[in-house]
């Protein structure tokens, strides 16, 4: 077995490791979220409410792509770090190679399906007649980039598992900066509208993917050969089992986005706001939420290699210390996000362009009620990812589904029947509180087991 002193994950101070791994992960997630947020900003300023609504209609495909990337990225990285912690270096390379090849393959399949079924998908996602043409233009071009998006997103995790979180950050940063510059050129100078926003996005994604592929040719801790990239059923199953919690969490977000769009469309039509205003507001608030999600999810991803390696090395006190450190930081981030959303909702919406008085009226109410318990948000993603990191995928999957599926969907279907469109807002608020409570109970039950009670070396 590899001696823990040979790997900093097993010997370095936990607080230092969290900074080294979480900060680049957070920056990488922030940069990754900029693809959608920047598109929304430029589209909102150039096209307005309908443009914001169009990006929201297409949005369900984003978590679908991220789900695939996390399935193989987190699954591959977790298996790799657990194997390295156990000293199984020879077999570890297959987790990295298989994760990378499967990510690009699945991305290609999703891209082809999106092009073929574009029309039916947009109608199913809730596009109104006013929004449909803009949404189609945006989806047709962005689908081309799905293989590169999924591969590059997967690569950030398996590169981070190799002890190079800064490179994964640079990879995403380069692609995002490219996207921002080209967004301005294509939308405001060339006047390409939704097509220009999508074209800028895929160019940035291709650049990130190329950087990720280059890194894999010089992986540090192990040498990757051609055989390691050829999919093996047993390896893929093992990867999928530990990546499933994060994957299902994103797939749940996709289902949630579809049902939410349809609900906003239906109940918005019964309200004074109509169908397009609720869709636009939801799209804007969701993009803002992505910023905070980037902090919390990046933090949970930074926790992953630390928890995985030390759990594999049976250094349970270090695992507990790492989890608590991540939760403390997540609590601060979520509370700051809560303050911003409650105090400055009008300013948040205004960043994404102007609109009618009704647009801002509904937007302020939506943000304040829907995100009323935002300060609890950090608990669910960190705790669910923690269980996957320590090789307990069943609990991880269950906890990852609490917010989007187990609690939110039933509330989303039930409450609007009694409270109309306001019921959608109440459903969001109640879900955050309930999911955080359940994840806290399951997490406490795990961390109070006897093996975690020993004093850490650091």
Query: pLDDT tens digits for 394-410?
Result: 888 888 888 878 899 99
- Let me know whether 183 and 297 are in one domain: no
**What residues make up the domain containing 38?**
21-231
Buried b (16+ CB within 10 A) or exposed e, 348-364: bbeebbebeeebbbbbb
455: DSSP letter: P
User: pLDDT at position 5, please?
Assistant: 47
- If asked whether residues 223 and 345 sit together in one domain, one would say no
Which of 207, 231, 255 delimits the end of a domain? 231
Distance CA 37, CA 295 (A): 14
Residue 12 domain-assigned (yes or no) = no
Q: Is the pLDDT of residue 288 over 70?
A: yes
pLDDT at position 291 over 90: no
- Whether residue 14 is contained in a domain is answered as no
**Within a domain: residue 395?**
yes
Is a pLDDT exceeding 80 seen at residue 354?
no
Asked whether the predicted pLDDT for residue 261 surpasses 50, the reply is yes
Q: pLDDT tens for residues 228-249? A: 999 999 999 999 988 887 787 7
pLDDT in tens, 87-124: 788 888 999 999 999 999 999 999 999 999 999 999 88
- In a domain, residue 8? The reply is no
Report pTM. 0.70
What is the model's pLDDT at position 52? 76
Q: Say how many domains are in the chain.
A: 2
The DSSP code sequence of 55-83 is HHHHTTHHHHHHHHHHHHHHHHHHHHHHH
Higher pLDDT, 18 or 35: 18
Residues 148 and 285 in one domain: no
Give the burial string for 27-61 (b: 16+ CB within 10 Å, else e).
Answer: bbbbbbbbbbbbbbbbbbebbbbbbbbbbbbbbbb
């Amino acid at each position: 077995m590899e001696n823990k002193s040979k790997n900093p994950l097993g010997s370095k101070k936990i607080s230092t490791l969290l900074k080294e791994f979480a900060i680049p992960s957070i920056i990488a997630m922030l940069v990754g979220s900029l693809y959608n947020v920047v598109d929304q900003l430029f589209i909102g300023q150039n096209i307005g409410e309908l443009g914001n609504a169009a990006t929201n209609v297409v949005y369900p495909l984003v978590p679908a792509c991220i789900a695939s990337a996390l399935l193989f990225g987190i699954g591959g990285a977790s298996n790799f770090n657990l194997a390295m912690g156990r000293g199984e270096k020879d077999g570890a390379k297959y987790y990295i190679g298989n994760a990378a090849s499967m990510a690009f393959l699945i991305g290609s399949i999703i891209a082809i399906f999106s092009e073929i079924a574009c029309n039916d998908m947009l109608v199913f996602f809730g596009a109104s007649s006013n929004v449909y043409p803009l949404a189609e233009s945006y989806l047709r071009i962005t689908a081309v980039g799905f293989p590169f998006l999924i591969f590059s997103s997967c690569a950030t995790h398996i590169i981070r598992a190799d002890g190079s979180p800064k490179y994964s950050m640079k990879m995403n940063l380069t692609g995002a900066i490219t996207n921002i510059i080209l967004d301005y050129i294509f939308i405001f100078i060339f006047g390409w509208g939704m097509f220009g926003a999508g074209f800028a996005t895929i160019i940035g994604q291709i650049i990130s993917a190329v950087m990720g592929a280059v890194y894999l040719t010089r992986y540090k801790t192990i040498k990757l050969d051609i055989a390691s990239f050829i999919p093996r059923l047993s390896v893929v199953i093992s990867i999928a089992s530990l990546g499933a919690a994060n994957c299902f969490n994103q797939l749940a977000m996709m289902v949630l986005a579809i049902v939410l769009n349809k609900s906003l469309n239906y109940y918005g039509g019964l309200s004074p706001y109509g169908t397009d205003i609720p869709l636009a507001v939801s799209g804007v608030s969701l993009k803002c939420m992505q910023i905070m999600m980037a902090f919390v999810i990046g933090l949970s991803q930074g926790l992953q290699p630390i928890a995985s390696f030390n759990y594999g090395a049976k250094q349970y006190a270090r695992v507990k210390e790492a989890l608590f450190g991540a939760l403390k930081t997540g609590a601060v981030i979520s509370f700051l996000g809560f303050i911003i959303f409650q105090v400055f909702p009008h300013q948040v919406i205004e960043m994404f362009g102007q609109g009618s008085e009704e647009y801002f009226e509904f937007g302020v109410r939506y943000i304040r009620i829907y995100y009323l318990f935002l300060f609890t948000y950090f608990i669910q993603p960190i705790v669910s990812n923690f269980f996957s990191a320590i090789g307990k995928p069943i609990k991880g999957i269950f906890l990852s589904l609490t917010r989007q599926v187990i609690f939110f969907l039933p509330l989303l279907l039930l409450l609007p029947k009694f409270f109309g469109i306001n019921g959608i807002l109440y459903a969001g608020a109640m879900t955050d509180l309930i999911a955080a409570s359940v994840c806290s109970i399951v997490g406490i039950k795990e961390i109070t087991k006897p093996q975690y009670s020993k004093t850490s070396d650091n």
